[in-house]
């Protein structure tokens, strides 16, 4: 006969009843969603790919912009309309500005340094304030936008030299611009070790940051099991990724500190902040630690997202030669053909504004945004939303809503943001959902918009883009089906890039001499 251990049996029974109650009992007032199984709830309903599209379709199936799932006792709510996202993330921001625990990403992989992922509170407010201070309008005008323009000119020259490596050049443009602004590091190419660090770290984040990607997100106690146990591969993976994250946030600041000590530091956010602390006597370990983490958030958050947004518009121009020609004509009308676009032209070419907006809308870099977390229970549209619910704004669904953007939402069409006379149509919402929501909206969005705008305007002014042809002379259509994940990337594609004229090629060369 098997032995009976009352303590173990009672614990097992208690756990079963606890999870069964949360996963099986479904109060009528909860938002619509699929019926779950005992204990595991809707874990089997959580999609493995195209998560944002699957959630959008599930919500339509239930004829609701609210979609509720139960992840083994953890409530998940997906908001699939701008109305719901605005009502909750903005109108009720006190309740909806927190973040979930993110056991895999934050507690195991080390991303808890990044204030974009930490809970709402004192540390977040201090981090956000420091970020906002460094990216104030005066700092953008004095330091960042001139540096941005220099980076774009280098980017244009690289396209002349090795046009087939255009995707690497775009990543280098964004990554190099960010580490130059943050740390004064001058990267020579895309293979710079600092840029490679951020790329590796962000690739791992993209795979892990969607709630439900790892079982430890549903059962946080699993984070305590030894990494050598069978089935604990996630622990070993997280430990390896944490080393990369730690290096990514520590190495660049150590570089700046060494240069300050030797008197060779370039003017950058890190050097100005550290020197200010020294001059006014306010330096402390805590303040330097805060600065290190905020710089790390800038470094990680800006490089890949900005390059991907630029690449999306680049891809759309390759696929749509008529849009390319309209964009070139719009830039020529304001800039002319005897100079390159600059930061002084931003906001003066509505068609380029529309191109940037359409790129953000058509293929948002974060299609499911970063998850929020309820501070307490709430009732919305007659539905009960439990405390400690993970709440996600489905940016893809919001930015592909036919009621807002027209029936052709799957098409890339910048004209949807324009009036018939070519001016911006103020009745069509700016695709802010691409940057998140409420108090947790991306604080670097102004910098990002300017960076993408200048890159796109410069591309239009300088180059002709076209599809490559196969051996029979038939144009090869690039794929617009993106690589899935928390961050969404274009699949690798080929295109032909040629300067629009010899005089333009000469002008590009002279711009960096």
Annotated binding site for heme: 442
Residues making up the binding site = 442
User: How do the residues of the chain divide into helix, strand and coil, expressed in percent and rounded to 5?
Assistant: 55, 10, 35
- Going 463 to 468 to 472 to 477, the CA torsion angle's sign is negative
Alpha-carbon distance of 105 to 87, in angstroms, equals 28
Could you tell me the CA-to-CA distances from 288 to 119, 261, 273 in Å, in that order?
Answer: 21, 15, 9
Phi, psi angle pair for 462, to nearest 5°: -105, -30
Q: Could you tell me whether strands 74-79 and 66-71 are parallel, antiparallel, or unpaired per DSSP bridges?
A: antiparallel
CA angle (77, 80, 86) in 5-degree steps? 90
Q: Could you tell me whether strands 390-393 and 74-79 are parallel, antiparallel, or unpaired per DSSP bridges?
A: parallel
Per the document, the length of the chain is 513
Q: Are 40 and 22 in contact (CB under 8 A)?
A: no
Q: Are 72 and 218 in contact (CB under 8 A)?
A: yes
432-465 burial, b for 16+ CB within 10 Å, e for fewer?
Answer: bbbbbbbbbebbbbebbbbbbbbbbbbbbbbbbb
């Amino acid at each position: 006969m098997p032995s009976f251990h009352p303590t173990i049996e009672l614990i097992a029974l208690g756990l079963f009843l606890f999870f069964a109650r949360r996963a099986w009992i479904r109060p009528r007032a909860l938002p619509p969603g699929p019926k779950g199984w005992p204990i595991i709830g809707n874990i089997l309903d959580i999609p493995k790919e195209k998560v944002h599209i699957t959630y959008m379709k599930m919500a339509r199936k239930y004829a609701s912009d609210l979609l509720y799932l139960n992840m083994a006792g953890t409530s998940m709510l997906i908001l699939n309309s701008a109305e719901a996202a605005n009502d909750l993330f903005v109108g009720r921001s006190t309740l909806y500005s927190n973040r979930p625990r993110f056991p895999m990403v934050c507690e195991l992989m080390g991303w808890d340094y990044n204030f974009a992922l930490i809970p709402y509170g004192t540390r977040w407010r201090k981090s956000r304030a420091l970020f906002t201070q460094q990216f104030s309008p005066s700092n953008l005008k004095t330091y960042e936008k001139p540096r941005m323009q220099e980076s774009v000119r280098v980017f244009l020259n690289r396209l002349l030299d090795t046009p087939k490596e255009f995707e690497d050049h775009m990543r280098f443009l964004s990554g190099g611009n960010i580490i130059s602004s943050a740390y004064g590091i001058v990267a020579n190419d895309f293979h710079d070790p600092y840029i490679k660090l951020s790329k590796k770290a962000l690739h791992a984040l993209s795979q892990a940051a969607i709630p439900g990607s790892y079982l430890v997100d549903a059962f946080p106690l699993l984070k305590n099991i030894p990494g050598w146990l069978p089935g604990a591969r996630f622990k070993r993976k997280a430990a390896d990724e944490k080393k990369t994250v730690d290096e990514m946030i520590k190495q660049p600041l150590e570089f700046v500190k060494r240069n300050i000590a030797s008197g060779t530091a370039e003017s950058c956010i890190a050097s100005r902040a550290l020197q200010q602390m020294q001059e006014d006597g306010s330096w402390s370990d805590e303040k330097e630690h805060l600065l290190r983490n905020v710089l790390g958030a800038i470094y990680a958050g800006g490089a890949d997202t900005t390059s991907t947004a630029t690449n999306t518009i680049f891809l759309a121009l390759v696929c749509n030669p008529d849009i390319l020609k309209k964009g070139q004509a719009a830039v020529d009308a304001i800039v002319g053909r005897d100079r390159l676009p600059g930061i002084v032209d931003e906001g003066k070419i509505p068609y380029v504004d529309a191109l940037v907006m359409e790129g953000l809308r058509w293929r948002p870099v974060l299609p499911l945004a970063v998850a929020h977390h309820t501070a307490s229970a709430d009732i919305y549209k007659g539905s009960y939303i439990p405390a400690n619910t993970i709440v996600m704004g489905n940016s893809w669904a919001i930015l592909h809503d036919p009621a807002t953007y027209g029936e052709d939402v799957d098409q890339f069409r910048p004209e949807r943001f324009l009036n018939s006379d070519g001016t911006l149509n103020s009745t069509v919402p700016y695709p802010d959902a691409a940057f998140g929501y409420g108090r947790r909206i991306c604080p670097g969005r102004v910098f990002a918009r300017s960076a993408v705008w200048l890159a796109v305007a410069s591309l239009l002014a300088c180059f002709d883009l076209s599809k490559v042809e196969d051996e029979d002379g038939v144009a090869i259509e690039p794929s617009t089906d993106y690589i899935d994940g928390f961050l969404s990337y274009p699949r690798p594609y080929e295109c032909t890039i040629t300067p629009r004229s010899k005089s333009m090629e000469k002008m590009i060369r002279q711009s960096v001499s």
